[in-house]
């Protein structure tokens, strides 16, 4: 390799190291919880549920509204279609009563009648049509009303409970999503740790083969080994270098995935705090995994809590449906005004008056519509109860599966430690025998392959044990990102 290329590679390596950012598992969880869009949506839903609860609570209080308008009428209003003549009366001192002024027969003194039997008034009062005609071309009107519900069949109380349960449901769904995000972050985090350990393992395997290749090459030159032996080692070395390149690429992609789930740009280089500690035995799970009482598990599981809240919500939906079949009573008060107005004769100015009252609405017959609405809500409640029971059965199975997987992972991890110790000893014996000439290159490469396999199994077992631990805590509802490691 030319010196210029070597310098360029060193510069790129130093730049990457300087831009790298060391993170812990807790910091990754915290970043992911702060940046995850689904959790941000969940927080907004919690806010919306709070606003709906306040909206439902407002239904207990009186509602005050204002309505106003303007109307243009083509014609005026006239009480008469023509002038009117009204008969008059005169006070009779003898009887103490008012009597009509009628035309009387001079001879008999009796009132004169027309051919159709009507009396003929002697004097009349003229009421012109214009006097009873009112200008209503331009009418302005308005009203301020107050409505206070007194009894609504329990609908307002049920709606407030629904709003309260909806807020609790939004929080339960948000907390359940937190567990999913933590599990995804842990998977990405430990994938980086796993691939970093595999990278070191692959590098050690390449170093072993490279050392063996040099030794065999020297033995070929000394005439104590064949060219075929050298070719076998070189082929194995080339394959190991290709495998190491794949691991390097996989590690780069896994760092990108970790950055993505943490809400960072994918080109952010995250170096995990556990990369250099993989293989230490300080991390140890409890030797025995016990399953607590399932009722306590249900009480901690947010998804179960969400289903229980859905049952309560639909129970209140039943109450809302029932209220449509019950009477509704409300008190009302209003102040209405208009221009023109008729409160003191016809006047072209604004004037108004207060009024109070009560309104009762009693449903009588709706062809079964309201009752069927109630039965539909009752059926939905039954469905939610069945879904809750089904979820509890699945959770019980999930908890048992998680416990079995955790036990198996612990056993596999401890077995892998024993196998790795044996593989290391086998490799040491093979290398010693090769140097003494009692073993061939094939024996050494078999020991190296066994060492590589044992190291890979140990890495997989350790990472699987950690993930199984997180999954078990998630199943039990005890996952806490601030304290869980």
**Rounded-to-integer distance, Cα 150 and Cα 159, Å:** 15
Task: Tally the C-alpha atoms within 13 A of residue 347's C-alpha that lie toward its C-beta.
Answer: 11
For 66-125, the pLDDT digits (tens) are: 999 999 989 888 888 888 888 888 888 888 888 888 888 787 778 888 878 788 887 888
Whether pLDDT at 287 is above 80 = no
All structural domains of the chain, each given as residue ranges with its CATH number in brackets, are 84-127 (no CATH), 158-325+366-476 (1.20.1600.10)
Task: Say what the pLDDT of residue 481 is.
Answer: 61
Q: How many CB atoms lie within 10 A of CB 341?
A: 20
pLDDT above 50 (res 219):
yes
Task: Locate 307 and state its tokens.
Answer: 């289903």
Residue whose token pair is 């005169």: 90
Task: Quote the tokens at residue 367.
Answer: 């062809």
Question: Which tokens hold the place of 14?
Answer: 């130093």
Closest to 472 (Cα-Cα) out of 376, 406, 381? 406
φ and ψ at residue 11, rounded to 5 degrees: -65, -45
Q: Encode 227-248: b = buried (16+ Cβ within 10 Å), e = exposed.
A: eebbebbeebbeebeeebeebe
Q: How far is 323 from 55, CA to CA, in rounded Å? A: 19
End-to-end CA distance of the chain: 45
Residue 186 CB partners (closer than 8 Å, separation 6+): 25, 29, 466, 467, 470
C-alpha to C-alpha distance for 172 and 313, rounded to whole angstroms = 14
Q: Give long-range contacts, CB 8 A cutoff, 24+ apart: 227-232.
A: 229/440, 229/441, 232/441, 232/442, 232/445
In angstroms, the CA 447 to CA 198 distance is 18
d(CA 243, CA 439): 26
pLDDT (tens digit, 9 = 90+) per residue, 321-350? 999 999 999 999 999 999 988 888 788 889
Alpha-carbon distance of 476 to 327, in angstroms, equals 48
Distance CA 61, CA 55 (A): 11
pLDDT digits (tens, 9 = 90+) for 238-276: 999 999 999 999 999 999 999 999 999 999 999 998 887
Q: Measured between alpha carbons, how far is 103 from 88 in angstroms, rounded to an integer?
A: 12
Strands 351-361 and 97-100: what pairing? unpaired
pTM of this prediction? 0.78
- DSSP for 289-304 reads -----HHHHHHH-HHH
Given this model, what pLDDT does residue 167 score? Answer: 95
Q: In DSSP terms, which residues pair with 356 in a beta bridge?
A: 333
């Amino acid at each position: 390799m030319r010196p210029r290329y070597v310098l360029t590679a060193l510069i790129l390596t130093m730049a990457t190291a300087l831009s790298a950012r060391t993170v812990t598992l807790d910091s990754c969880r915290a970043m992911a919880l702060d940046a995850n869009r689904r959790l941000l949506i969940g927080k907004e839903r919690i806010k919306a549920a709070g606003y709906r609860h306040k909206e439902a609570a407002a239904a207990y209080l009186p509602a005050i509204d204002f309505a106003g308008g303007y109307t243009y009428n083509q014609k005026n209003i006239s009480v008469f279609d023509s002038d009117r003549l009204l008969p008059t009366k005169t006070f009779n001192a003898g009887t103490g009563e008012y009597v009509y002024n009628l035309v009387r027969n001079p001879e008999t003194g009796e009132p004169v009648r027309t051919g159709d039997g009507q009396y003929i008034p002697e004097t009349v009062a003229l009421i012109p049509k214009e006097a009873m005609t009112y200008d209503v071309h331009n009418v302005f009107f308005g009203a301020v009303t107050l409505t206070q519900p007194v009894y609504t069949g329990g609908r307002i109380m049920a709606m407030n409970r629904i709003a309260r349960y909806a807020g609790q449901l939004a929080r339960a769904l948000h907390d359940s999503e937190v567990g999913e995000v933590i599990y995804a972050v842990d998977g990405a985090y430990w994938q980086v740790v796993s691939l970093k350990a595999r990278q070191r393992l692959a590098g050690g395997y390449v170093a072993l083969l490279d050392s063996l290749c040099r030794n065999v090459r020297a033995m070929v030159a000394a005439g104590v080994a064949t060219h075929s032996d050298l070719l076998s080692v070189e082929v194995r070395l080339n394959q190991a270098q290709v495998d190491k390149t794949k691991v390097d690429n996989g590690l780069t992609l896994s760092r990108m995935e970790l950055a993505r789930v943490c809400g960072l740009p994918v080109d952010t280089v995250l170096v995990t705090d556990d990369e250099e500690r993989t293989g230490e035995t300080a991390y140890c799970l409890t030797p025995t995994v016990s399953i607590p009482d399932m009722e306590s598990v249900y009480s901690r599981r947010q998804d179960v809590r969400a289903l229980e809240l859905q049952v309560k919500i639909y129970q209140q939906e039943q109450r809302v449906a029932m209220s449509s079949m019950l009477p509704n009573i409300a008190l009302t008060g209003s102040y209405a005004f208009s221009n023109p107005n008729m409160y003191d004769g016809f006047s072209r100015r604004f004037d108004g008056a207060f009024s109070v009252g009560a309104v009762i609405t009693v449903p009588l017959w709706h062809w079964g519509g309201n009752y069927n609405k109630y039965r539909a809500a009752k059926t939905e409640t039954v469905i939610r109860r069945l879904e809750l029971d089904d979820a509890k059965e699945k959770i019980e199975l999930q908890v048992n599966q998680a416990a079995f997987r955790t036990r198996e992972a612990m056993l596999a991890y401890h077995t892998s430690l024993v196998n790795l110790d044996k593989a290391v000893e086998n490799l040491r014996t093979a290398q010693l025998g090769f140097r003494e000439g009692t073993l061939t290159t094939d024996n050494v490469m078999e020991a190296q392959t066994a060492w590589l396999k044992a190291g890979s199994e140990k890495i997989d077992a350790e990472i699987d044990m950690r993930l199984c631990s997180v999954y078990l805590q998630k199943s039990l509802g005890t996952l806490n990102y601030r304290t869980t490691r």
